[in-house]
Structure formats: C-alpha cells, structure tokens
Amino acid sequence: MSGIGNGEVRVEIERFGREPEAMDEVRRASLEHPSVQERLRGKRSRLLSVQFVEPGGKADDAAAPDRYRTTIYDYDDNQVILATGSLDDSDSVEVSQAGHQPLPTAEEFDEAVEIVLEDHDLGSKVRDRSLVPYAPMPPLVDAEVPGGRVERTVAVGLMPRGNLRDNGARHEIVGANMVHRTVTRFENRAPARAAAGDHNCGLPRGRQATAAQGTPGRFRVTVNRGGVELWKFVVIRPAASSGTNGSGVELRRVDYRGKRVLFTAHAPILNVRYDNDACGPFRDWSWQESRIQANGTDVAPGIRRCPTPARTILESGEDTGNFLGVAIYRSGEETVLVSELEAGWYRYISEWRLHDDGTIRPRFGFSAVRNSCVCEVHHHNVYWRFDFDIGTAENNVVREFNDPPILPPSNWHAHRFEVKRRRNPERGRRWQIKNSQTDDAYALIPGPNDGVADAFARGDVWILRFHEGEIDDGAIADGPPFAADIDRFVNGEDVHNQDVVVWYSAHFTHDVNEEGETGHYVGPTLRPAQW
C-alpha cells in the first residue's frame, strides 16, 4: 500500500486483483491445453489477447476476476479461436470459434510491416526510411472472398519522412494479407473510409509502444481527510477495462463518505463521423493505452502516483511520454486519475476528477496525430455509462429538471419508464438520481461544451433499468455498425424505485482550420444534491 499526502488529505493506493504473473501463466496454460493444441497443431497462429473476466452480480466487496478469455487467430484456417477457462482450474478450458475480426495487436502489426517489406516496390522505400510505417484507421481492411468470409488483412500506413516525396515515395495505406502474406494497394492510395493525401494535419507521431489489451492493472483508492474517509473506490486501467472495445479508466464501487454512489462508471462506446463521409465513420476502441508524461512512483502494475500533474498530449502537445497506464495525483481539492488512449491516428484522454466535497467530474479529451483525415471536419462522440447505486442498488429514482417546466407547476418530474432524452440547454435540463428511502441524491449536470446529438450520435441521455449484459451495444471496434445503438435497450421497463443506469453522451467537433492542432475536453458534473 502506498499513499500521497496533501496537507491533511491522504490518498491510499492498494494493489488489487491478479498480478502480471497470472497473465503469463494464463497465456502458457491456454496455448498448451490439449483442446487448444488439437485445434492449432501444425497451424500458423498468434495469441492476440487475454482478458480477465469478473464474476457477475453486485456484491458489496470488490471481486477479483475468476475467469479468463483468450483470443487466438489461426491464419492457416483464417478463423478466430476463443479459449475460456477458470483462473483457479487450469484444466477447465472451453474452446470455441468466433466470426468477428479482432483488432490487431502491436506484434501483429509488426508482422504486417514485415509483409510490406517483402513487396518489390514498397519494401525498399520502407527499408531506406523514405516511407515510415504507422497504424492507420481503419485498422483492418475488408478482404472478402467467395462465400462471404473475410481474410485477415491488417492496414499499414506509409508516411513519407518529413511529409516529402523522397525518392518518389508518397503517402499510402496498404493492406497486408496475413493469410497469404501478400500486399494489396488501392486506386486512391487508401482503402475505403480512409485517406492518404499529400497534405496532413495533426501533431507529430511519437511512435512509442502501447499497452496490449488485457494487460493487468487494478487498484483500490481511499481518500481520507483528517481521519475521515471521503472516497473509496476501485480503479481499472484502460487496458483491463470492461466492454467489447474497452471503456477507458473504469471506476467500480465508488463510495463517498461511506455511502455508495456508483457501482460502475466508464465510457464503453466511442465513435467518430466525418462531414460528407470524407473518411470513416469509425467505431473506436478505448483500451490501447498511449504514453503520457507522469513523474512519480509505480505503486501497482500500470498505476503511478505523482506529486505533480501528469501531462497528456493535450497539455504537452507531444505524442510521447514515460508512462503507460493510469496516473493519480492531487490538484487542489481534487483527486485526479488520467490515462491516454490510442486508436489509429486518434488520441483520447480518459480522466476522472473527484473533489473532496463529493463532486465527480468525468472528462474525455480529443486529439490526433498526423494524417490526411485529420484535416477533414469530424465529430467525436463519447458515451459514459453510469450505473448509479445511490445508497443501494434498488430504490433509485431519476428526476428531470426543466425551466420552463414540462409538467407545471413543478420544474421537476420523475421518469417512471425507460426513456431517451435530449440535453436541451434552453430549458436548463439536468437530472437527479435519488434513493427514495433515504433521500440521498446526486445531480447529473450537463457540461457547457458537451453539445447536442445529431442523427449519427442518436441521443444525449438514456435512462435504463440495470441489466448485467447491457454494458455496451456489442458492436466490434471499427464496426459496422458505427453509430451507438443504446436505443435497443429502451423497451419500456419500469425504472421507478429500481436499479437504474444512466448513459450520457458528449459531442466534439474537430476542425483544425478553426482550432488548429489543439484538442478539447468534454464531460458532465456529478454533484451531491443531498448527502
């Protein structure tokens, strides 16, 4: 256990969950299990990811993962193999086949670059550094073969050094077929939904290693002031976060002054749309950690406590750093947790700011590194999922404020059934989640720069009944579908005096012609209304 002090405030950080050694053991055990060996014997394959799975339910005590899921790609048969098992029983492994295309890992991307090096025309330009490889969007190229199957083809961007046409080299995005080890080039120098022009925008690319999906990292945090416990919660680093595509820095079992506020708080859906479909659209992922500048001491895998604020790409203007994971530090009366995420040329900031007075400020930031698509006007959407358990999981009520009132004479009315709502700043619309038995309550206040949803974003707020399987809409990163389908969960269930979940989305338009290369933060405020 380690702590950082600030006056009379003390932040205690405790390691929690499975250690990296457990990950190494799972990798070995899953690949060596007879059922997996039978499927892969003599085949060219690669282990893409290992993810730990927590037990279900809402126990008061934080539960460590007890199962795992391993994703393996069989290149000879062009198929995904899943191996699931128990962390406490190495013989208990179930093997199945999946039909989706997982995101490529850093190691697989490196192999894709090796395939490009074998190309007669491109290989020499990559070797002499006239062209520098990078991971583009989309990360995979659709390479459909007769019968409807897709051969695994990793996209490889090739950027001229210094953006110059050295030795006839021009910006290009190609597809490296991992099954046949061939290179596909495209008529417009890029596959569908991408662009590889001679003009590029964004910050210089740092080209540093990122964290792999499933990398362990979770910890307990307790914030005390003068011997009084203010905050207690569990933090999960983005690489280990839940959801189909990860969910950024994830908070679990968040208590303020000894009472539960949130069971889970994270951002499981992230997408982007371009004007006139100049690029994209894309469904992004929120687990691939990018490096930030964080000076301090590592207290757990992927967790660094810092005496001074960490600096992401938005603060430093640089795509480099000395740390992968979650930095935690004090800023005034706030405890801050921050990590940076990478998805192709996008850089996202996942941040939580917990004030000593009980206020929670979720924040999401947007930036990008050099690419042609960045020059086009595009619209980012982030979707937070707040599983409120005000005091208890049950007996929660969601009330909405409007001025002028929708149901006079009161400005407030309670939602009895699942519903989707617009932000409607003209009415000063906000929400309150309240325990009807204790009257404890938190307000959900929209951020002033969070925008209003367009047709692609689909909505601003969804009020839903809790269901364990509704962590996200199930869409694989980079889709389709690209738009968030939270509407599918709105089916008229009773949410009055129930276990409720509130989804909140924020929207940011990135136009480098107006804003230059700078990024932007969005996010609401969660504030105690009665505690």
In tens, the pLDDT along 347-382 reads 999 999 999 999 999 999 999 999 999 999 999 999
CA distances from 231 to 52, 316, 472, 527 (A): 26, 30, 27, 14
Question: 246 lies in a domain?
Answer: yes
**Does residue 339 share a domain with residue 485?**
yes
The pLDDT of residue 166 is above 70: no
Question: 169 lies in a domain?
Answer: yes
**Does residue 377 share a domain with residue 288?**
yes
The answer to whether the beta carbons of residues 195 and 282 sit under 8 Å apart is no
End position of a domain, from candidates 184, 207, 237: 184
Specify the pLDDT at position 1: 40
Instruction: Give the H/E segment covering residue 30.
Output: helix 20-32
Partners of 379 in the β-ladder: 273, 509
| Sequence letter at residue 324 | L
Question: 212 lies in a domain?
Answer: no
Partners of 352 in the β-ladder: 337, 362
Torsions phi, psi of 240, nearest 5?
A: -110, 10
The share of the chain scoring above pLDDT 70, in percent, equals 94
Average pLDDT over residues 130-135: 94
Q: Decide the pairing of beta strands 2-6 and 9-15.
A: antiparallel
The pLDDT of residue 18 is above 70: no
**Does residue 363 share a domain with residue 483?**
yes
**Does residue 124 share a domain with residue 94?**
no
We report the CATH number of the domain holding residue 306 as 2.70.98.20
Q: Report the Cα–Cα distance between both ends of the chain, in Å, rounded.
A: 29
Question: 526 lies in a domain?
Answer: yes
| Cα–Cα distance measured from residue 482 to residue 484, given in angstroms and rounded to the nearest whole number | 7
CA distances from 119 to 53, 122, 189, 415 (A): 41, 5, 15, 61
**Does residue 266 share a domain with residue 131?**
no
Question: 430 lies in a domain?
Answer: no
Bigger pLDDT: 201 or 19? 201
In three-state form (DSSP H/G/I as H, E/B as E, the rest C), the secondary structure along 342-375 is EECCEEEEEEEEEECCCCEEEEEEEEEECECHHH
Q: Please state the domain count of the chain.
A: 3
End position of a domain, from candidates 63, 98, 133: 98
Q: Decide the pairing of beta strands 412-415 and 131-134.
A: unpaired
The pLDDT of residue 253 is above 90: yes
End position of a domain, from candidates 98, 116, 135: 98
In tens, the pLDDT along 502-524 reads 999 999 999 987 765 556 899 99
- Would you place residue 61 in the very low, low, confident or very high pLDDT band (cuts 50, 70, 90)? low
| Sequence letter at residue 317 | G
What lies within 8 Å, CB to CB, of 155 at 6+ separation is: 135, 136, 137, 138, 139, 140, 141, 173, 174, 175, 176, 191, 194
Lowest mean pLDDT among 13-22, 280-289, 482-491: 13-22
Specify the pLDDT at position 55: 78
**Does residue 448 share a domain with residue 482?**
yes
Specify the pLDDT at position 483: 96
Question: 3-class DSSP state for residue 81?
Answer: strand
User: 207: which 2 tokens?
Assistant: 């080209």
**Does residue 111 share a domain with residue 87?**
no
| Cα–Cα distance measured from residue 85 to residue 460, given in angstroms and rounded to the nearest whole number | 38
CA distances from 111 to 150, 156, 327, 342 (A): 19, 10, 31, 20
The pLDDT of residue 335 is above 90: yes
Bigger pLDDT: 301 or 507? 507
**Does residue 89 share a domain with residue 26?**
yes
| Cα–Cα distance measured from residue 511 to residue 521, given in angstroms and rounded to the nearest whole number | 14
Question: 3 lies in a domain?
Answer: no
The answer to whether the beta carbons of residues 460 and 445 sit under 8 Å apart is no
In three-state form (DSSP H/G/I as H, E/B as E, the rest C), the secondary structure along 419-446 is EEECCCHHHCCEEEEEECCCCCEEEEEC
**Does residue 336 share a domain with residue 276?**
yes
**Does residue 382 share a domain with residue 292?**
yes
Specify the pLDDT at position 341: 97
The pLDDT of residue 75 is above 50: yes
Residue 151 belongs to domain spanning: 106-184
Question: 3-class DSSP state for residue 44?
Answer: coil
We report the CATH number of the domain holding residue 78 as 3.10.450.40
| Cα–Cα distance measured from residue 65 to residue 22, given in angstroms and rounded to the nearest whole number | 11
User: 62: which 2 tokens?
Assistant: 């934080």
**Does residue 159 share a domain with residue 44?**
no
Partners of 67 in the β-ladder: 53, 86
Question: 213 lies in a domain?
Answer: no
**Does residue 90 share a domain with residue 115?**
no
The pLDDT of residue 467 is above 50: yes
Question: 81 lies in a domain?
Answer: yes
Q: What angle do CA 292, 324, 510 make, to 5 degrees?
A: 50
Average pLDDT over residues 437-451: 97
